[in-house]
Amino acid sequence: MKTALITGITGQDGAYLAELLLEQDYKVYGTYRRTASTNFWRICDLGIQNNPNLHLCEYDLTDLGSSIRLLEETQPEEVYNLAAQSFVGVSFDQPHTTAQITGIGPLNLLEAIRIVNPKIRFYQASTSEMFGKVQKIPQQESTPFYPRSPYGVAKLYAHWMTINYRESYDIFGSSGILFNHESPLRGLEFVTRKITDGIAKIKLGKLDCLELGNMDAKRDWGFAKDYVKGMHLMLQADEPDTFVLATNRTETVRDFVSMSCKAAKIDIEWRGKNEDEIAVDIATGKTILRVNPKFYRPAEVDLLIGNPQKAKDILGWEPEMDLEQLCAIMVEADLRRNENNRSF
Ligand code: NDP
Ligand code: GDR
């Protein structure tokens, strides 16, 4: 039986990855932070919370000493570092905290691996946010980086440290440059889930109008469950490396709203431009969406579209779910959740 350690098991990817590894008969240690209201709703949703091979451990990524003790106590063969302050918007308000968690945190784990057992295989959750300002599309492993947020800068540091530890100490450190991936387990602050939850509430008469920021941003959105398979494959490969996981399709935030309305059977019409843009429910004449500049970011990543060819060639990885399907399952899940008055 293989042993894996997942940091950030209370997050979207941590929950799906734990499910995948348990299905493959791994012993899984999952870390969570001690807070006044730790929430395990995602692993409960997946029904894995009582799996005898799942062990939950309290851990904070910013603490080097506990990173060392964690590896000594759990003795994993594979470490998946998914923990991060992962919300780009918040990173502008809390750049220092973001740097400590998202940048220095992975360094703590790399140091712990170097000290405790350099044979541990390490996955670092890198991001398309590192590409940032558009230089060349589609973005791939060789595309130059130009991060546009404190989050992107912190992730870029961790990405290069992973490569540096690979080259300096022969540590099996792989970096997955993952483009946006979503699911019914996505945090409510991220735009896709904010949209599907908002549209579900509007459909059920629980919300009048949804407010969003930049409607023109384009993202390459995939399904989180497909992407955690890629993380696992990276640590089964012969060599540590850097891989892009993406769908190679890009759509605007506006397109995602239109798709969600279609899934919820609400016919809408777009009116106005920029800050005055609205979406009107054709059946009722009511404005169901407006732009609020408070959701704009100080610097924006305008366009992301990734080329996952290397992952396909070397790992045999390909995304399975298309965006229409993904949007439909998210809307459906949020309709059910809101009907039952569940909060997440
Ligand atoms: P989430 O925000 O859903 O989960 C992040 C996890 O990190 C949570 O479990 C959170 O715990 C934990 N965490 C935060 N701070 C600390 C800390 N100081 N110590 C220990 N744990 C901490 O992110 P996702 O699941 O969406 O993403 C997983 C990883 O992949 C992240 O690193 C993210 O930056 C990266 N990524 C995500 C992409 C996406 O589209 N989802 C794309 C590319 C990269 P708590 O519940 O206590 O807050
Ligand atoms: P992103 O995801 O910043 O790409 O980071 P997010 O869903 O937050 O934003 C995507 C785009 O939508 C625009 N947008 C809004 N965003 C939010 N959150 N709320 C709004 O109301 C809104 N209106 C418009 C944003 O400006 C942006 O352009 C995600 C995270 O999961 C990161 O951790 C990960 O690394 C990257 O994806 C890849």
Q: Which of 73, 242, 259 is nearest to 174 (CA)?
A: 242
Q: 310 CA distance to ligand 1 centroid (A)?
A: 25
CATH superfamily of 3-183+221-249+303-320: NAD(P)-binding Rossmann-like Domain (3.40.50.720)
Q: Report which protein residue has its CA nearest ligand 1's atom 44.
A: 127
CA distance 302 to 322: 22
CB 234 within 8 A of CB 174: yes
> Amino acid letter at 328?
A
Answer yes or no: is the ipTM higher than 0.95: yes
Q: Which of 276, 280, 298 is nearest to 289 (CA)?
A: 280
Q: Report which protein residue has its CA nearest ligand 2's atom 8.
A: 190
- Cβ–ligand 2 distance for 92 under 6 Å, the answer no
> Do the two domains 3-183+221-249+303-320 and 191-216+252-301+328-339 of this chain adopt the same fold?
no
What does CATH list as the number for 191-216+252-301+328-339?
A: 3.90.25.10
- Cβ–ligand 1 distance for 15 under 6 Å, the answer no
The catalytically annotated residue of 129, 162, 196, 247 is 129
**pLDDT in single tens digits along all 344 residues of the chain:** 999 999 999 999 999 999 999 999 999 999 999 988 878 999 999 999 999 999 999 999 999 999 999 999 999 999 999 999 999 999 999 999 999 999 999 999 999 999 999 999 999 999 999 999 988 999 999 999 999 999 999 999 999 999 999 999 999 999 999 999 999 999 999 999 999 999 999 999 999 999 999 999 999 999 999 999 999 999 999 999 999 999 999 999 999 999 999 999 999 999 999 999 999 999 999 999 999 999 999 999 999 999 999 999 999 999 999 999 999 999 999 999 999 988 77
CA distance 280 to 268: 5
CB 16 within 8 A of CB 46: yes
Give the Å distances, CA to CA, from 15 to 8, 55, 171, 292, 318. 8, 13, 26, 32, 20
CA distance 272 to 291: 10
Q: 14 CA distance to ligand 1 centroid (A)?
A: 8
Token pair for 194: 């904010």
CA-CA-CA-CA torsion sign (111, 112, 118, 122): negative
Token pair for 104: 């220095």
Q: Residue ranges of the domains in the chain?
A: 3-183+221-249+303-320, 191-216+252-301+328-339
What is the three-state SS of 80-118? Answer: EECCCCCCHHHHHHCHHHHHHHHHHHHHHHHHHHHHHCC
Ligand closest to the CA atom of residue 106? 1
